Amino acid sequence: MQIAVLLYDRFTTLDAVGPYELLARMPGAETVFVAKEAGPVRNDQGSLALVADRSLAEVPRPDVVLVPGGPDARVAMDDPEILDWLRTADATSTWTTSVCTGSLILASAGLLKDRRATTHWLAFDELRALGVEPTGERVVFDGKYVTAAGVSSGIDMALHLLGRIAGDETAQTIQLLTEYDPQPPYDAGSPEKAPAAIVAHWRGGKVPVREG
Amino acid sequence: MQIAVLLYDRFTTLDAVGPYELLARMPGAETVFVAKEAGPVRNDQGSLALVADRSLAEVPRPDVVLVPGGPDARVAMDDPEILDWLRTADATSTWTTSVCTGSLILASAGLLKDRRATTHWLAFDELRALGVEPTGERVVFDGKYVTAAGVSSGIDMALHLLGRIAGDETAQTIQLLTEYDPQPPYDAGSPEKAPAAIVAHWRGGKVPVREG
């Protein structure tokens, strides 16, 4: 089973690495990071580059496609070469997946038409503008299309996928080995739970810390 | 505030990227990935390389040191150049931190003597052999030394650190923007919670999926 993780300029790192860390541990999985050209691709923060080992052309038929988001997802949404690769890969994929604003890229490629999907809570209007109504769930399955909410939700998505692909025991084993027993010291991880003032500040578009 | 993330051959990716994703969003933070030599460093799975933008020598006095673990942490534990850098950086750091078996590396550098600390649950004996009793907590603070349990626990560590460094509101804001509202579909993230047969299998040292 080949898993291809798409990289493009200014992607959000944890969107890609969260699910990668879990999926890559699946017995029989071969994971490959791909980009328009093989080589380092710099992230949204500017302080880290991940190496794409293969170009898009070298990985035409992955079994699983994983598209991370980023605050500048338009880099990929406006790139015909990336959208063409997504459509081609999707034609034969078993699972086509995204994290955060990665779903805007899938929608731009025409792959989420009439599908249930989600994205980062700050990008709901952008997903709607592409003709897809965000469900607001953390992980959304619709056939072979799986979309996750913001950044860290990709880890939950990966556990769901592992269960579907490899069964509960493998998923539980990988949860145990990555000690995914979350104990955040705050309960502010969604707009329903975070302090209202912080949510209002962000809905107002004032940006002290980057969205990602 | 300069945050240095140490890379070495066969590090575990999420150990580094989980806390990085949150800490790098802190206003005023400058994050830099460092290794013995600048350039790509390949991870434990073999399928991904992260680029260290700076050599150890170029980053002698970070404010925060972050050491990821890996199934082959001995790569770093046995490397005098890495241990020397850790001791030098620690002499002036505000926070010295690790995730997973990264604490074995800190202990090898002599930095956890008489400290409370933790590591991946499968590495408790190795930490004891270095003279440090693992507490079994998910995140352990002892003065400026902060150690986290396995792989994904670094995300919780980062939230704790953000609260201490930048205050609750910044930590909550970053939790909201990364949508860290965990909803794992299984409750198998610790040896106390996972199915007993899986835990026994791993305690017995049979390794169908890699520890990391």
Residue at token pair 């071969």: A30
Secondary structure (3-state) at A108? helix
Q: Which two tokens stand for residue B100?
A: 């997973």
Look at chain A and report how many structural domains it folds into: 1
Cβ of B180 within 8 Å of Cβ of A21? The answer is no
pLDDT of residue A199: 96
Residue B123 touches chain A, beta carbons under 8 Å: no
Q: Which residues pair with A32 in a beta bridge?
A: A4
Which of B107, B141, B113 lies closest to B127, judged by CA?
B107
Instruction: Supply the range of the domain harboring residue A127.
Output: 2-210
Which of A71, A11, A47, A12 lies closest to A211, judged by CA?
A71
The share of chain B scoring above pLDDT 90, in percent, equals 96
pLDDT of residue A212: 46
Q: How many CB pairs under 8 A join A and B?
A: 254
Residue at token pair 């890969």: A89
ipTM over 0.85: yes
pLDDT of residue A208: 45
State how far the alpha carbon of B165 is from the alpha carbons of A81, A122, B146, in Å. Answer: 43, 26, 13
In this complex, which of B21, B184, B208 lies closest to A151 when CB atoms are compared?
Answer: B21
pLDDT at B208 over 90: no
Cβ of A24 within 8 Å of Cβ of B30? The answer is no
Cβ of B152 within 8 Å of Cβ of A121? The answer is no
Secondary structure (3-state) at B47? coil
Residue at token pair 């850790």: B86
Contact of A77 with A104, CB cutoff 8 Å:
yes
Q: What number is the average pLDDT over the span B21-30? A: 98
Within 13 A of A103's CA, how many CA atoms are on the CB side? Answer: 40
Cβ of B198 within 8 Å of Cβ of A176? The answer is yes
Smallest CA–CA distance, residue B117 to chain A, in Å, is: 16
Q: What number is the average pLDDT over the span B106-131? A: 97
Query: For residue B11, what are the contacts with CB-CB under 8 A and spacing of at least 6?
Result: B41, B43, B44, B68, B69, B70
Residues in chain A where the model's pLDDT stays below 50: 207-209, 212
CB < 8 Å to A100, chain B:
179
Query: For residue A198, what are the contacts with CB-CB under 8 A and spacing of at least 6?
Result: A188, B169, B172, B173, B176
Using CA coordinates, name the residue in chain B closest to A186: B172
Cβ of B156 within 8 Å of Cβ of A190? The answer is no
Q: Which two tokens stand for residue A209?
A: 């810390």
In this complex, which of A151, A159, A177 lies closest to B211 when CB atoms are compared?
Answer: A177
Contact of A44 with A72, CB cutoff 8 Å:
yes
Q: Which two tokens stand for residue B179?
A: 């949508």
| Lowest pLDDT segment from A178-187, A196-205, B15-24, B188-197 | A196-205
Cβ of B178 within 8 Å of Cβ of A13? The answer is no
Contact of A60 with A32, CB cutoff 8 Å:
no
Task: Return the CATH number at A26.
Answer: 3.40.50.880
Residue B100: active-site member: yes
pLDDT of residue A47: 98
pLDDT of residue A204: 87
pLDDT of residue A80: 98
Listed by number, the residues of chain A in 87-106 with a beta carbon closer than 8 Å to a beta carbon of chain B are 100
Listed by number, the residues of chain A in 137-176 with a beta carbon closer than 8 Å to a beta carbon of chain B are 138-139, 149-153, 155-156, 159-160, 163, 168-176
State how far the alpha carbon of A17 is from the alpha carbons of A155, B34, B93, B178, in Å. Answer: 9, 19, 27, 13
Residue B11 touches chain A, beta carbons under 8 Å: no
Q: Which residues pair with B54 in a beta bridge?
A: B34
pLDDT in tens, B53-80: 999 999 999 999 999 999 999 999 999 9
pLDDT at B204 over 90: no
How far is B97 from B145, CA to CA, in rounded Å?
A: 6
Per-position DSSP letters for B162-202, written without gaps between them: HHHHH-HHHHHHHHHHTT-----SS--SSTTTS-HHHHHHH
Q: Where are the beta strands (DSSP E) in A83-129?
A: 95-99
pLDDT at B207 over 90: no
Cβ of A26 within 8 Å of Cβ of B209? The answer is yes
Cβ of B47 within 8 Å of Cβ of A27? The answer is no
Residue B191 touches chain A, beta carbons under 8 Å: yes
Residue at token pair 């998910």: B138
Which of A151, A152, A120 lies closest to A137, judged by CA?
A120
In this complex, which of A12, A138, A182 lies closest to B156 when CB atoms are compared?
Answer: A182
pLDDT of residue A136: 92
Residue A198 touches chain B, beta carbons under 8 Å: yes
pLDDT of residue A211: 52
pLDDT of residue B211: 52
Q: Which two tokens stand for residue B153?
A: 């626990």
pLDDT at B145 over 70: yes
Q: At what angle do helices A153-166 and A13-23 cross, to 10 degrees?
A: 30
Smallest CA–CA distance, residue A142 to chain B, in Å, is: 17
